[in-house]
Amino acid sequence: MRLHSAVEFPPGAEGTQLVRTGDIGPDTGWSAALPGCDAVVHLAARVHFMRGSGAGSQRAFFRTNVEGTETLAHAAARAGVRRFVFLSSVKVNGETTRGRAFTEGDPPAPADAYGASKAEAEERLKKIAGETGMEVVILRPPLVYGPGVGANFLRLLGAVDAGLPLPLAAIDNRRSLVYVGNLVSAIESGLTHAGAANHTYLVSDDHDVSTPELIRGLAAALGRNPRLVPVPLALLRIAGKLTGRTEQVGRITESLQVDVSRIKAELGWRPPFTMPQGLAETAAWYRTLRANYRS
């Protein structure tokens, strides 16, 4: 097995070969990485740079997530790769749901440069599949959590662990998430199931929660008491505008659900881990991280 990346990885399993390719973009060379490969799982992307909204930021997303993906896919097809699994994002569908969950048949409605770049990458992969015969499988996860999680989820872990009062008790939303172990399982199905070829699938834990429910789940996993304070949603939104955090408030107050009926029906996939199990593993990792930081 080969691992191809622009970053440092710890030593892998026996037989794993690490091939460093440099930054991923339209000029990345893949000649040393692809010979002998039967399948490619493309996970790398430009992410978590949401503040930039100008042409330069959009170009950076496009260069890595669209042109970089396209270059890799063309190289994979020339190398005889049978199947190409692409980790896209629910952001292709949009940012919020109202009344029903997103499905694979919904028209794309990305709201930022990241989502737009993933949507365009999907279209280019479908074109390459049609031209070359290489099978393409597209997976669109929502927020992925588990050991190693960062950004807002990590900050929420810290707040719950610290016993900080959170003004989120009155929120009545529904959010889909996916534990990294469940995502790996879905990728496995995308790699091995004959019926997955040239299909797109939404994937989640198949257990949607409100923001207060998620906080209670994190608190239980951490062995803490959740400190949830009821604050009217209107006040939270006003606070978000005044502090320049409208997007962050939106993410924790609005709904974003995905319907995983298709991957379950067509691939027979079921998430092998429950959300409480995923949160427990995440909490265990976080406690180790915190202990190492303090030592």
Residue 286 is among the residues annotated as catalytic for this protein? no
279 Cβ partners below 8 Å, 6+ apart? 145, 179, 217, 218, 220, 221
130 to each of 105, 127, 293, how far by Cα in Å? 19, 5, 50
User: In this predicted model, what pLDDT tens digit does every residue of 127-171 receive, in sequence order?
Assistant: 999 999 999 999 999 999 999 999 899 999 999 999 999 999 999
- pLDDT band at 55; cut points 50, 70, 90: low
The predicted pLDDT at position 290 comes to 84
Of the candidates 114, 145, 179, 201, the residue annotated as catalytic is 114
Average pLDDT over residues 101-108: 97
DSSP state of 7: S
User: In this predicted model, what pLDDT tens digit does every residue of 5-54 receive, in sequence order?
Assistant: 433 344 555 567 888 888 899 999 998 899 999 999 999 999 865 454 55
User: In this predicted model, what pLDDT tens digit does every residue of 204-254 receive, in sequence order?
Assistant: 999 999 999 999 999 999 999 999 999 999 999 999 999 998 888 988 999
% of the chain at pLDDT higher than 90: 79
Average pLDDT over residues 124-128: 98
> pTM of whole model > 0.85?
yes
Is 80 exceeded by the pLDDT of residue 196?
yes
Compare 251 and 176 and report the one with higher pLDDT.
Answer: 176
User: In this predicted model, what pLDDT tens digit does every residue of 270-292 receive, in sequence order?
Assistant: 999 999 999 999 999 999 988 88
Domains in the chain: ranges and CATH: 1-140 (3.40.50.720)
Is 70 exceeded by the pLDDT of residue 4?
no
241 Cβ partners below 8 Å, 6+ apart? none
Is 60 exceeded by the pLDDT of residue 189?
yes
The predicted pLDDT at position 294 comes to 73
